[in-house]
């Protein structure tokens, strides 16, 4: 896998938050002295070190605390805490991406610049290849990554901050995307007292993400594959039919599930050419748009969205060679754990027999964050914001929408404590032609301080070339018919078309 791709996935936990001004009212004191005298051993950090880091560029001076947590024998959770000189009284935790944790300072730079004490972890094993999960054969490391590492990081981090600043934190926020999104949901489900606000972006919350990856690769292999031009042809045709459904032709389909473009409209009537698709390619597209279900009615292969075809190849072997760069989202690496004593025929992976075995495995029981009972989290005032790019070729936005519907149905009294946003044209945690920078930290700060749940989010491209209004699910942004398309006032939130 390309080095650039690995780096991109490793930074998924950034959650695409925008840059804004620092918070006010910081706690100030002699940070250098407090940092050098911090007793990390008494705080439960094995091999702990505290190092003062001087201010640079947009970052303030801070005390960086590193060490290991060993909550049980065999558990080795690496943690990094960054404690800014001017503390705003809050702690800020982040998760990982792929099958690794994330301690990269870029993941927490925005929060650190605002005065948050930040908390990061390696997830319980060394950070390496994002798709390598061979460590999961060790049960304790599997538990760490599944649910324990973020909780232990958070519990210890709160103690570290209190010891350093001489006072307890006032609020605790968590932001993560992809694996970090799953970890955020796990926190709300298993450890409802850890955070006051959780942001879970594009969460890989069940192993349906992995089974979908395997089955999609097989569908494309059986089709003979698609060239980059073939994918562009399909995307252009879908956009031609559905782009203007939201009132504006801008290269984005705001509600892909209401787009019913039939790929048969560009099927070749003769020999395959650059201007049409073969019958096998048309069959493949219909399959990935519709998805595949197991006999129990659950998704075996989650649907992919019309209008985002040119972004698929990062996660899916669309070329038909059967060489998935993600190894089935890591499912191939889990084969010996989920299918002990058996050699899996991945090229003929069965939705009827193989997928149910994945979902009923002991690994799934510890790893999946699928519970919709958030009564304890909501009961103590917790707030949960989920978001997902409509053109995500990894975890499907359909999976997140299914979860959102279930949460809202099961927790009707917590209507103002849960929000879900879909971002048109946005790929996995960012990228794609859509407005992929969401002001997540701004949004939850306002929500937490005022108690008013957000009904819209104004997203943009990092270069400010595009600005769009994202609406709280299930509503969809619709252009009013006049005005600058980059002005949020030119859009309204409306009930979705079917």
> Domain coordinates of the chain in residue numbers?
3-205+366-494, 208-325
End-to-end Cα spacing for the chain: 39
Residue 305 gets the label, from left (phi > 0), alpha (psi -120 to 50) or beta, of beta
The residues, any chain, with a CB within 8 Å of residue 297's CB and separated by 6 or more, are none
Rounded to an integer, what distance in angstroms lies between the CA atom of residue 247 and that of residue 308? 19
- For the stretch 110-133, pLDDT in tens is 999 999 999 999 999 999 999 999
State both tokens at 36.
């050098």
The residues, any chain, with a CB within 8 Å of residue 46's CB and separated by 6 or more, are 67, 68, 69, 70
Instruction: Give the model's confidence band at 426: pLDDT under 50 very low, under 70 low, under 90 confident, else very high.
Output: very high
- For the stretch 74-124, pLDDT in tens is 999 999 999 999 999 999 999 999 999 999 999 999 999 999 999 999 999
CA dihedral 13, 189, 446, 112 (to 10 degrees): -40
Instruction: Give the model's confidence band at 315: pLDDT under 50 very low, under 70 low, under 90 confident, else very high.
Output: very high
pLDDT at 498: 73
Determine what percent of the chain is predicted with pLDDT higher than 70. 94
Average model confidence (pLDDT) across the chain? 94
pLDDT at 3: 37
- In sequence order, the β-bridge partners of residue 176 are 200
Average pLDDT over residues 296-309: 97
pLDDT at 31: 84
Question: Do 319 and 118 form a contact (C-beta atoms < 8 A)?
Answer: no
pLDDT at 35: 95
Give the angle subtended at the CA of 199 by the CAs of 338 and 21, to the nearest 5°: 145
| Residue 8 pLDDT greater than 90, yes or no | no
Determine what percent of the chain is predicted with pLDDT higher than 90. 92
- For the stretch 363-414, pLDDT in tens is 999 999 999 999 999 999 999 999 999 999 999 999 999 999 999 999 999 9
**Could you give the count of Cα atoms lying within 13 Å of 47 in the half-sphere of its Cβ?**
9
Average pLDDT over residues 36-60: 96
**H or E element at residue 164:** helix 149-165
| DSSP code string of 89-142 | SEEEEE--BTTB-B--GGGTHHHHHTTPEEEEE-TTS----TT--GGGGSHHHH
**Which CATH topology does 3-205+366-494 take?**
Rossmann fold (3.40.50)
Q: Is the dihedral angle over the CA atoms 333, 339, 340, 341 positive or is it negative?
A: negative
| Residue 19 pLDDT greater than 50, yes or no | no
| Residue 2 pLDDT greater than 60, yes or no | no
Average pLDDT over residues 161-184: 97
Q: Output the CA–CA distances (angstroms, integers) from residue 335 to 138, 142, 326, 345, in the order listed.
A: 14, 14, 14, 10
- In sequence order, the β-bridge partners of residue 51 are 64
| Residue 445 pLDDT greater than 50, yes or no | yes
Instruction: Give the model's confidence band at 252: pLDDT under 50 very low, under 70 low, under 90 confident, else very high.
Output: very high
pLDDT at 325: 84
Rounded to an integer, what distance in angstroms lies between the CA atom of residue 53 and that of residue 267? 60
Instruction: Give the model's confidence band at 497: pLDDT under 50 very low, under 70 low, under 90 confident, else very high.
Output: confident
Q: Which of 2-16, 376-390, 422-436, 442-456 has the lowest mean pLDDT?
A: 2-16
| Residue 1 pLDDT greater than 60, yes or no | no
pLDDT at 417: 98
Q: Output the CA–CA distances (angstroms, integers) from residue 457 to 105, 174, 246, 337, 390, in the order listed.
A: 26, 18, 17, 41, 15
pLDDT at 322: 94
pLDDT at 29: 67
């Amino acid at each position: 896998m390309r080095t650039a791709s690995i780096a991109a996935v490793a930074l998924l936990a950034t959650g695409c938050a925008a840059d804004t001004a620092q918070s006010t009212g910081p706690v100030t004191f002699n940070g250098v002295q407090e940092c050098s005298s911090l007793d990390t051993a008494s705080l439960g950090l094995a091999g702990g070190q505290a190092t003062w880091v001087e201010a640079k560029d947009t970052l303030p001076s801070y005390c960086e605390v590193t060490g290991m947590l060993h909550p049980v024998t065999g558990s080795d959770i690496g943690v990094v805490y960054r404690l800014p000189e001017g503390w705003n009284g809050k702690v800020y935790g982040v998760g990982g991406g792929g099958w690794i944790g994330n301690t990269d300072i870029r993941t927490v730079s925005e929060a650190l610049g605002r005065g948050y004490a930040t908390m990061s972890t390696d997830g319980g094993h060394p950070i390496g290849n994002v798709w390598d999960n061979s460590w999961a054969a060790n049960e304790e490391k599997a538990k760490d990554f599944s649910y324990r590492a973020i909780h232990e990081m958070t519990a210890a981090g709160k103690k570290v901050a209190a010891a350093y600043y001489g006072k307890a934190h006032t609020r605790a926020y968590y932001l993560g995307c992809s694996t970090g999104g799953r970890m955020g949901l796990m926190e709300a489900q298993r450890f409802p007292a850890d955070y006051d606000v959780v942001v879970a972006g594009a969460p890989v919350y069940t192993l349906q993400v992995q089974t979908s990856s395997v089955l999609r690769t097989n569908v494309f292999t059986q089709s003979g594959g698609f060239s980059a031009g073939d994918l562009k042809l399909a995307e252009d045709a879908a956009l031609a039919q559905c782009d203007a459904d939201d009132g504006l032709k801008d290269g984005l389909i705001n509600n892909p599930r209401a787009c019913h473009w039939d790929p048969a409209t560009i099927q070749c009537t003769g020999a395959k050419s650059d201007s049409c698709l073969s019958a096998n390619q048309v069959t493949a597209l219909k399959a990935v748009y519709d998805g595949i279900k197991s006999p129990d009615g659950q998704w075996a292969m989650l649907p992919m969205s019309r209008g985002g075809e040119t972004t698929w190849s990062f996660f899916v072997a669309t070329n038909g060679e059967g060489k998935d760069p993600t190894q089935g989202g890591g499912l191939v690496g889990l084969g010996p754990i989920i299918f002990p004593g058996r050699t899996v025929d991945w090229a003929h992976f069965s939705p009827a027999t193989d997928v149910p075995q994945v979902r009923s495995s002991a690994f799934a029981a510890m790893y999946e964050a699928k519970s919709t009972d958030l009564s304890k989290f909501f009961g103590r005032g917790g707030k949960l914001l989920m978001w997902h790019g409509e053109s995500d070729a990894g975890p499907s936005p359909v999976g997140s929408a299914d979860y959102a519907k279930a949460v809202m149905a099961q927790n009707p009294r917590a209507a103002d404590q849960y929000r879900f946003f879909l971002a048109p044209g946005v790929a996995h945690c960012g990228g794609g032609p859509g407005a992929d920078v969401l002001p997540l930290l701004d949004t939850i700060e306002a929500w937490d301080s005022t108690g008013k749940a957000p009904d819209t989010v104004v997203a943009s491209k990092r270069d400010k070339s595009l600005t769009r209004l994202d609406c709280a699910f299930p509503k969809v942004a619709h252009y009013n018919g006049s005005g600058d398309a980059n002005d949020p006032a030119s859009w309204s939130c409306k009930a979705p078309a079917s």
